[in-house]
């Protein structure tokens, strides 16, 4: 695909991660500008800002992802960390192979992460260690969204917030939420047994437009902050770092019942 300066020079990004006010551990992680957190961490005090450009050692374009670990004790954070490490290794390998077509590349990445997280869980004797993933891949004049689980991708275009991802949760979601106030169980996540369950990530490709803003987040944001408030914050803050910090601050102000991780990309 022809190079486009949109993906090389005009994406300003920020990433923030907070443990929240209730959880003892931070089971979230991310992959942002080649960076991620160690397995055991307490999140970050403030968002980190980067001008997102091609990494000459990895795939052309820009890739960013959020991982929300699950499994109890410290296993959720291990799963999320494993996913971030696998992402870094995979993107380097893809660069070497020369095959960077967005959709098949993302499918292969998901399969690779799933296999490695499942294997890590087996080695630790954990039957259900896993992580969600929500990711964006910017290349040329396009952006691909990819998700497994209930972490989300959004786009704000012309003032309108649009959900790009699909929550992979039980069909009884609305009944659980309204009647029982319970979180729905995941029907897809990284760490499922690849010999028994087929991983089915949601992947879509869309065009980029100058002025677009993109958000990747764990459910620690969307369970605490209404989409209307998310949209208002993205609209009203021009700086990606300020946007990320404001989103996390509001999630904490509203209770901070879960770990919360956000990645903001402004074109």
Boundaries of domain holding 90: 5-266
Q: According to the 3-state scheme, what is the secondary structure of the chain?
A: CCCCHHHHHCEEEEEEEECCCCCCCCCEEEEECCECCCCCCCECCCCEEEEECCCCCCCCCEEEEEEEEECCCCHHHHHHHHHHHHHHHHHHHHHHHCCCCHHHHHHHHHHHHHHHHHHHHHHCCCCCCEEEEEEEEEECCEEEEEEECCCEEEEEECCEEEECCCCCECCCHHHHHHHHCCCCCECCCECCCCCCCCCCCEEEEEECCCCCEEEEECHHHHCCCCHHHHHHHHHHCCCHHHHHHHHHHHHHHCCCCCCEEEEEEEC
Q: With a cut of 50, which residues of the chain have pLDDT below it?
A: 1-7, 9, 174-176, 178
- What does the buried/exposed string (b/e) look like for 20-53 if buried means 16 or more CB atoms within 10 Å of the residue's CB? beebebbbbbbbbbeebbebebebbeebbbbebe
Q: Determine the pLDDT at residue 181.
A: 61
The Cα-based distances of 58 to 98, 218, 267 in angstroms read 10, 25, 21
Distance of CA 81 to the CA centre of its chain: 13
Q: Determine the pLDDT at residue 152.
A: 98
Q: Determine the pLDDT at residue 2.
A: 39
CATH code for position 169:
3.60.40.10
Q: Determine the pLDDT at residue 23.
A: 92
Determine the Cα–Cα distance for residues 197 and 236; give it in Å rounded to an integer. 43
Domain count across the chain: 1
Q: Determine the pLDDT at residue 174.
A: 47
Q: Determine the pLDDT at residue 4.
A: 43
Q: Determine the pLDDT at residue 5.
A: 43
Q: Determine the pLDDT at residue 7.
A: 41
Q: Determine the pLDDT at residue 212.
A: 97
Which residue, 120, 103, 61, is CA-closest to 202? Answer: 103
Determine the Cα–Cα distance for residues 85 and 91; give it in Å rounded to an integer. 10
Q: Determine the pLDDT at residue 178.
A: 45
């Amino acid at each position: 695909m022809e190079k486009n300066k949109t993906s090389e020079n005009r994406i300003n990004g920020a990433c923030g991660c907070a443990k929240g006010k209730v959880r003892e551990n931070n089971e979230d992680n991310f992959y942002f500008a080649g960076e991620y957190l160690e397995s055991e961490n307490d999140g970050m005090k403030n968002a980190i800002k980067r001008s997102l450009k091609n990494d000459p050692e990895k795939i052309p374009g820009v890739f960013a992802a959020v991982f929300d670990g699950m499994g109890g004790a410290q296993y959720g954070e291990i799963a999320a960390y494993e996913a971030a490490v696998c992402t870094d290794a995979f993107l380097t390998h893809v660069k070497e192979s020369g095959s960077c077509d967005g959709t098949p590349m993302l499918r292969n990445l998901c399969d690779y992460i799933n296999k490695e997280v499942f294997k890590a869980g087996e080695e630790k004797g954990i039957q259900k260690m896993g992580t969600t993933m929500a990711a964006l891949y910017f290349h040329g004049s396009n952006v691909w969204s990819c998700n497994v689980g209930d972490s989300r991708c959004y786009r704000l275009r012309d003032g309108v917030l649009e959900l790009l991802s699909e929550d992979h949760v039980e069909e009884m979601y609305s009944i659980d939420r309204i009647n029982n106030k319970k979180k729905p169980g995941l029907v897809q996540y990284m760490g499922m047994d690849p010999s028994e369950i087929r991983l089915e990530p949601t992947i879509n490709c869309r065009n980029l437009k100058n002025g677009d803003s993109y958000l990747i987040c764990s459910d620690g944001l969307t369970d605490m902050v209404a989409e209307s408030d998310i949209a208002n914050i993205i609209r009203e803050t021009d700086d990606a770092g300020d946007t990320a910090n404001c989103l996390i601050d509001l999630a904490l102000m509203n209770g901070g019942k879960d770990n919360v991780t956000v990645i903001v990309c402004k074109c």
